[in-house]
Amino acid sequence: MIAFGASISGAEAYRRYAQPGIDRAAEPDSQVYAFASVEPIARTYNLILDAAGHRDDLEALVLVHPHTEIVDPQFLTKVRRALEDPAVGIVGSAGASGVRSLAWWEGQVTAAPGRQRYDEFGGGSLPAFSWTRSAPPPAEVEAVDGQLLVLSPWVVRNLRFDESLHYNHGFDVDLCLQARAAGRRVMVADLRLAHHRSIELVKDLDVWAQAHRQLARKWDSVFTEAPSDEAGWKRRARYAEARREACRAIAFSQAMKRDAGVLELERELDLTRASLSWRVTAPLRVAKRWWRSRGEEETGGVREPEGLPAFEGRWELDGAQEAPGRRDTTGRPARV
């Protein structure tokens, strides 16, 4: 049995995105652990691990972010294939090797095809991780994106998310490093997702920097080759490193905003082209309405027959006489 879990901080997001994807992928016997979020997110995930770990028939636990939608019709088949090797502990849809900080995407990225759907700039979608180069899966990596984490039964029963990481960043990288330290492999598989989230990668620079410092202190031996040292220069260097990675993430966000803005302009251009013929002929329609209204004013409200110009001359022509009982095409007495 493959179970699903979610930490719900916003019921509306879960209902619109994560739940339809889980319903699409789940089997009749799949158990769904949808828990209300408590801070930090690591605490909620650990409660889900505790609940799922008691199942003797557990094949895998899939942790889904509320803004992540599973769109792969072969999702569970691919999950089972990825976990055929008992040494595999964690599987994701995107990840990287050469991870040296909280910003795992600064390494050599491997990612399955997916879409990032956003509400800014009139709404739209871009290829997921379009701001970095990525290789296609499958591949073994050092860490995977926490938007979707597939955990083996061994990881569910033996590892836990670090609840001392208070800033809700880096919990995914930390768990992957724990798994690798325990001899388990971390893999990226071809799992297709849609990410419904803002273009902004980093919304709070200070929170990001603090989260980076926490993670760097814990995994100093992995991120650097120098011995751990909390002297003043080391603290300053870590903070500078964190701000650098945050600024790079903000730069990636700006690049995505540019691409989203271009897509919005292209949509407006298409609408303009569709209505171009209507706009070009607008002056002609206005002139026609004006001409008709002018003709009705001059004829006392009687419209001229279609196709005939209004008569603007005098009826008293030299030598002309009314022809009794005869009318011209306008309804006036005919002259002879």
Domain range spanning residue 31? 2-199
Residue 283 lies in a domain: no
Which pLDDT tens digit goes with each residue over 29-67? 999 999 999 989 999 999 999 999 999 999 999 999 999
pLDDT of residue 296: 56
Residue 144: exposed, middle, or buried by beta-carbon count in 10 A (0-12, 13-18, 19+)?
A: buried
Residue 242 lies in a domain: no
Q: What is the mean pLDDT of each run of 10 residues along the chain (336 residues)?
A: 95 96 97 94 97 97 97 98 98 95 91 90 83 92 97 98 92 97 98 89 78 89 62 56 61 60 66 62 68 61 48 44 50 50
Report the candidate in 129, 173, 118 with the shortest Cα–Cα distance to residue 149. Answer: 173
Report the candidate in 116, 111, 110, 92 with the shortest Cα–Cα distance to residue 195. Answer: 116
Residue ranges with strand state E in 114-225: 115-118, 124-127, 134-135, 139-141, 143-144, 148-151, 185-188, 193-196
pLDDT of residue 167: 87
Residue 55 lies in a domain: yes
Residue 130 lies in a domain: yes
Say which CATH number the domain at 7 has.
Answer: 3.90.550.10
Two tokens at 271?
């609408």
Token pair 């920097």 in the structure block, residue: 209
pLDDT of residue 315: 42
pLDDT of residue 307: 47
Please count the structural domains in the chain. Answer: 1
Residue 163 lies in a domain: yes
**Beta pairing, strands 60-64 & 2-8:** parallel
Q: Is 172 left (phi over 0), alpha (psi -120 to 50) or beta?
A: alpha
Residue 42 lies in a domain: yes
Residue 127 lies in a domain: yes
pLDDT of residue 31: 98
pLDDT of residue 265: 65
Answering whether pTM is above 0.85, one says: no
- Asked if residues 239 and 209 have their Cβ atoms less than 8 Å apart, the reply is yes
Residue 138 lies in a domain: yes
